[in-house]
Amino acid sequence: MEDSSKLNSIDLSSADITTSLSLLKQACMDSGFFYVTNHGISEEFMDQVFTQSKNFFDLPLEEKMKLLRNEKHRGYTPALDELLDPANQIHGDHKEGFYIGIELPEDDPQAQRPFYGTNLWPDSGWRQTMERYHQQALEVVKKTARLIALALDLDANFFEQPEMLGNPIAILRLLHYEGQASDPAKGIYGAGAHSDYGLITLLATDSVSGLQICKDKDAKPQVWEYVEPLKGAFVVNLGDMLERWSNGVFRSTLHRVLLGNGEDRYSIPYFVLPGHDCVVECLPTCQSEQNPPKFPPIRCETYLLQKYQNTHADLSTYNRS
C-alpha cells in the first residue's frame, strides 16, 4: 500500500501572507501539489455541483453520446476515450467525462479559436449550475495565482494580464470513474500517469481516494503517494506551463488515479491556462548566467493543441447516433 503524501494547506483568507507564501513556495518546489482552504465556495454549492454531475453520468449511454465531445473539446467523453500514458496503458482511461469551456456565442470572433465557443448542455438547470461554478472556480484560481506570483518575486497581478488570466482558456471537466479495478501490472488505470498541461488545476473530489503523485518521475522504481481528499478544500496542482515559466523551479508533477474494484469516484478538475497567444518563456526572476532558460518559448495554443491530439481518440471512431 502506497503512503499518503503530506501536502501543505494554504488558507486563502489568511492575513498572514508571509506564512502563506512560505508554505506555498515549499509546496511548489517539492511536489507542485497543495490544498487551498477558505476559498469562498460553499460546501452546499459544491454538493449541488457533484449531484448535477452524477445525474448526468447516470443517464443511459445513448443519451450521453448525443452530447459527444466536438472538435472544440466540449461535451461528453466516453470511457477509454483518453490515453494519458501509452507506454504503460493497454487501453485508455477507465473514466468518462464532460468538458465545459467558457461560453461564447458563435458570432463572437474569439469563438472560432480552439477551446472557445458554445458548450453542449443537457438542460438549462444543469447549465446554470455549471456556469456558476465555472465563474467561482476561476476566482479561486486567481486568488491562488496572486500568491504564486509573489512566491516567484513577481507583481501580485502578473498572471492577470490580458493575455493570461485576463482572457484565459479555462476548462471545467466533470469526471466519473466507473468502478473498474485498476491494475498497473496489467496496464489498467482509472487515469494513466501524466502531468497537467496548463498553469493551474483546481481539483474538487468526492470522499473516495484514488489520486496518486510521483515526485520523482525518473526514479526506478517510481514511488507513488496518495493525495487524500480533504473536506472543504481543493487540491491545487501546477501545470507544465508554470514549470516552463519558472525554469523548473516550480514543479508540474506526474499523477494518476488508481481505484479498487466496484469503487465509483467523482471528481471535477478545473484546468486554467493563459490565452491562446500568450508566449510562455522563462521569467526574468527564474534565470541567471548560472541558471539559463531550460525550455524554449512556446505559444499556449500550439502547446495545448498538440497535447490534446496526442491523448484523445479520433472523433471519427465514434458513432454519434
E strands, 179-217, are 191-194, 200-205, 211-214
So what's the pLDDT on residue 5? 80
Q: Is the pLDDT of residue 295 over 80?
A: yes
Q: Which of 288, 307, 278, 213 lies closest to 252 in space, CA to CA?
A: 213
pLDDT in tens, 31-44: 999 999 999 999 99
C-alpha–C-alpha distance, residues 308 and 99, integer Å: 13
Beginning with the edge strand found earlier in the chain, give each strand of the sheet holding 254-257 in spatial order.
191-194, 254-257, 211-214, 225-226
Average pLDDT score over residue span 242-253: 96
C-alpha–C-alpha distance, residues 293 and 69, integer Å: 37
C-alpha–C-alpha distance, residues 164 and 41, integer Å: 23
Q: Is the pLDDT of residue 321 over 80?
A: no
Confidence grade of residue 71 (pLDDT, cut at 50, 70, 90): confident
So what's the pLDDT on residue 270? 98
Average pLDDT score over residue span 74-89: 92
Average pLDDT score over residue span 119-144: 95
- Cα end-to-end distance, the chain, whole Å: 43
Q: Which of 11, 18, 58, 28 lies closest to 238 in space, CA to CA?
A: 28
- Beta strand 254-257 with 264-273 is unpaired
Element holding 173 (H helix, E strand): strand 169-178
- Cell readout for 118 is 458554445
Average pLDDT score over residue span 298-317: 79
Confidence grade of residue 313 (pLDDT, cut at 50, 70, 90): low
- Beta strand 225-226 with 75-77 is unpaired
Give the predicted TM-score (pTM) of the model. Answer: 0.94
- Cell readout for 251 is 514543479
pLDDT: which is higher, 1 or 284: 284
So what's the pLDDT on residue 109? 85
CB 189 within 8 A of CB 248: no
So what's the pLDDT on residue 1? 46
- The CATH code for residues 9-310 is 2.60.120.330
Identity (one letter) of the amino acid at 271? F
pLDDT in tens, 164-223: 999 999 999 999 999 889 999 999 999 999 999 999 999 999 999 999 999 988 888 889
So what's the pLDDT on residue 220? 86
Question: Residue 255 gets which letter from DSSP?
Answer: E
CB 151 within 8 A of CB 24: yes
Average pLDDT score over residue span 95-115: 89
Per the listing, cell 486554467 goes with: 272
CB 151 within 8 A of CB 28: yes
Query: Mean pLDDT lowest for which of 9-13, 132-136, 264-268, 309-313?
Result: 309-313
C-alpha–C-alpha distance, residues 12 and 120, integer Å: 33
So what's the pLDDT on residue 19? 97
